[in-house]
Amino acid sequence: MFNKILIANRGEIALRVIRTCKEMGIKTVAVYSQADANAMHVRMADESVCIGPAESSNSYLSIPSIISACEISGSRAVHPGYGFLSENSKFSEILRDHNIKFIGPSPEHIRIMGDKINAKKKMEEFGVPCVPGSNGKLKGTKEARDLARKIGYPILLKAAAGGGGIGMKIVENEAYLENLFQQAKSEAIKSFNDDTIYLEKYLKKPRHIEVQIFGDGKGNAVHLGERDCSLQRRHQKVLEETPSPIISSKERKAIGEKCASAMKMMKYEGAGTVEFLYENGEFFFIEMNTRLQVEHPVTEAVFGIDLVREQIMVAAGLPMSFKQENLNLNGHAIECRINAEKLPQFTPSPGTIVQFHSPGGLGIRMDSAIYNGYRIPPYYDSLIGKLIVFANTRELAVKRLKRALDELIIDGIETTSDLFKSILKHEEFLNGDYNIHWLENWLNQEKK
Ligand code: ADP
């Protein structure tokens, strides 16, 4: 086992990893930018190393600075958290060259899944259902036109290197195709320096359902149910729950087994998420994330496991602590992402927290790195906390979440916590009757 782990991240996820390391008796090293000298992850770690100025390109994203921090602190393993360098195959490769263990999958697996066309091809090979579309890169508008006629409009143009919805264009009918194809290409080249575009059938009212998988890198892999992340704003997840209110245990088992079997064939190592759109009883693969997700705590709650601990175990060459047959889903969990944003426009709201009171009691988990007097720097993601509730049933989880949101106090800045209070009052949410457009449609109605 490692005696020390460096955490190449900040905020709540850095704290999350430190907590598990402490429980495992592993020393921790925090890295921080000059803007984060007073951050909680720095206070909680055994050691810390400043890795550069506030801008993440010169600190949390700087591979040389992080390698130096490993050398200075004598760390032989790195946990990347999520975001930043967590899905950077070059980073994991360079660490490997330096004989430092990247806690996560191999650079090859990160690379394959990082290119959405390759990822789809790979998944199709493994028998995982994908959204109907082009067999890879579109050569030009003629190919796009012929294919779109076959599949039927509306279709979606997507950038192979895409992320955050950039380079994505919905095409309602043929008259718009040529223009939107050129627009998608130019957006993609600007943002990703790669204008590879592919085409998919546009699903009108899908849900976003993702399957948590876990592998030991030696050909053993399991699935840990699904998370329903359909409540989104601008393709960003806002609230996640497990189990999904609309997935039956038979469906869960069938799609979970397909994903686990793909991971066994790949000899995938560590935590990963296979993302699907789900419509009319069918699953369609869209992408795979080769890392721990923001919303992993809901899965931990219903399976009673610590995913970070398992990540560290398999990275150290030890077996996972469970087999598929020992994994039992119990109860219901919901996560709310609390952002430092002002409603209704969701504009960033950095500043100083003058008062913070975390909700508590049975079935509550608050993952956050904020504290009284903490000044939220304006340079990073606006996520400042995740409120996770767990109860025996969905109905009880919703009641518990309402109670927890009432207890939560964050004064001094604006947060999105009131949004959840409103969502929890909505009949359609209470009935589990929502899709990926539901939240935006509802927010637009509220504005009127
Ligand atoms: P990104 O990596 O840019 O986030 P994804 O492929 O994960 O792109 O898609 C992001 C979101 O876009 C999905 O969660 C879904 O809301 C929507 N989306 C993606 N593909 C389709 C599709 N074929 N039909 C309808 N909506 C889609």
Ligand 1 pocket mutation, candidates 155, 235, 285, criterion most atoms within 8 A of CB: 235
User: How far away, in angstroms, is 247 Cα from ligand 1 center?
Assistant: 20
Token pair listed for 146? 């012929």
Residue whose structure tokens are 């916590």: 417
> At a CB cut-off of 8 Å and minimum separation 6, what does 384 contact?
11, 12, 338, 339, 340, 368, 369, 370, 376, 410, 415
> At a CB cut-off of 8 Å and minimum separation 6, what does 194 contact?
159, 160, 161, 188
The yes-or-no answer on residue 375 being catalytic is: no
Residue whose structure tokens are 């038979």: 250
Reply yes or no on whether the pLDDT at 70 is more than 80: yes
| pLDDT (0 to 100) of residue 163 | 77
| pLDDT (0 to 100) of residue 21 | 98
Residue whose structure tokens are 């495992």: 24
pLDDT band for position 309 (cuts 50, 70, 90): very high
pLDDT band for position 74 (cuts 50, 70, 90): very high
Q: What is 4-86's CATH topology?
A: Rossmann fold (3.40.50)
Instruction: Tell me if 277 CB under 6 Å of ligand 1.
Output: yes
Ligand 1 pocket mutation, candidates 282, 286, 438, criterion most atoms within 8 A of CB: 286
| pLDDT, tens digit (0-9, with 9 covering 90-100), for 141-188 | 999 999 999 999 999 999 988 877 788 999 999 999 999 999 999 999
Token pair listed for 119? 């990822």
Pairing of strands 364-368, 341-342: unpaired
Instruction: Tell me if 203 CB under 6 Å of ligand 1.
Output: yes
Instruction: Name the nearest CA neighbour of 330 among 375, 298, 374, 356.
Output: 298
For the entire predicted model, the pTM comes to: 0.95
Alpha-carbon distances, residue 1 vs 7, 71, 77, 305 (angstroms): 16, 18, 10, 19
- pLDDT above 90 covers what percent of the chain? 95
Helix (H) or strand (E) holding 405: helix 394-407
- Amino acid in position 434: Y
Q: Which residues pair with 52 in a beta bridge?
A: 33
Q: Give the ligand 1 atom nearest the CA of 165.
A: 3
| pLDDT (0 to 100) of residue 16 | 98
Note the helical H segments in 235-369. 249-266, 296-303, 307-315
| pLDDT, tens digit (0-9, with 9 covering 90-100), for 252-290 | 999 999 999 999 999 999 999 999 999 999 999 999 999
Domain ranges of the chain: 4-86, 132-201, 207-447
Instruction: Tell me the CATH architecture of domain 132-201.
Output: 2-Layer Sandwich (3.30)
Q: At what angle do helices 11-23 and 307-315 cross, to 10 degrees?
A: 70
Q: Dihedrals φ, ψ of 136, to 5°?
A: 120, -155
Question: Ligand 1: which residue has its CA nearest to atom 21?
Answer: 202
| pLDDT (0 to 100) of residue 90 | 97
Note the helical H segments in 126-235. 141-151, 177-192
- CA pair distance 283, 129, nearest whole angstrom: 6
CATH H-level, domain 207-447: superfamily: ATP-grasp fold, B domain (3.30.470.20)
Q: Which of 10, 291, 337, 400 is catalytic?
A: 291
Mean pLDDT, rounded, for 364-390? 97
Q: At what angle do helices 89-97 and 63-73 cross, to 10 degrees?
A: 40
- CA pair distance 285, 374, nearest whole angstrom: 41
Ligand 1 pocket mutation, candidates 123, 151, 168, 276, criterion most atoms within 8 A of CB: 168
Residue whose structure tokens are 């575009």: 197
Q: Are 231 and 239 in contact (CB under 8 A)?
A: yes
Helix (H) or strand (E) holding 352: strand 351-352
| pLDDT, tens digit (0-9, with 9 covering 90-100), for 88-129 | 999 999 999 999 999 999 999 999 999 999 999 999 999 999
Token pair listed for 225? 């149910």
| pLDDT, tens digit (0-9, with 9 covering 90-100), for 202-216 | 999 999 999 999 999
User: How far away, in angstroms, is 240 Cα from ligand 1 center?
Assistant: 16
Question: Ligand 1: which residue has its CA nearest to atom 4?
Answer: 164
Reply yes or no on whether the pLDDT at 448 is more than 80: no
Q: Dihedrals φ, ψ of 86, to 5°?
A: -65, -25
